[in-house]
Amino acid sequence: MMCGFCALEFREEEGIVGCVHCPVSCGKNMIKCPRCNYENPPELKLFKKIAKALKTVKSEW
Ligand SMILES: [Zn+2]
């Protein structure tokens, strides 16, 4: 995946997963960038999928 802040590409396993310092475990599956610590929401994947789908739809038209 790619960090939405510094554009560093890293594997999800390499990122810091979850709210480690969250006092109330809020259950968010944020994946923190190992370089800048930016919390990347997992929804980014979905957006990519939607963008791809839209592109394929457009090219088919
Ligand atoms: Zn980053």
CA of 58 to the centre of ligand 1 (A): 31
Could you list the beta-strand ranges (E) of the chain: 16-17, 31-32, 39-40
CA of 20 to the centre of ligand 1 (A): 17
Give the domain ranges of the chain. 16-60
Residue 57 has φ and ψ, to the nearest 5°, of -65, -45
CA of 16 to the centre of ligand 1 (A): 11
- pTM value? 0.52
Model confidence pLDDT, tens digit, residues 22-60: 555 555 667 889 999 888 877 555 666 777 888 888 777
Q: Give the β-pairing of 31-32 and 16-17.
A: antiparallel
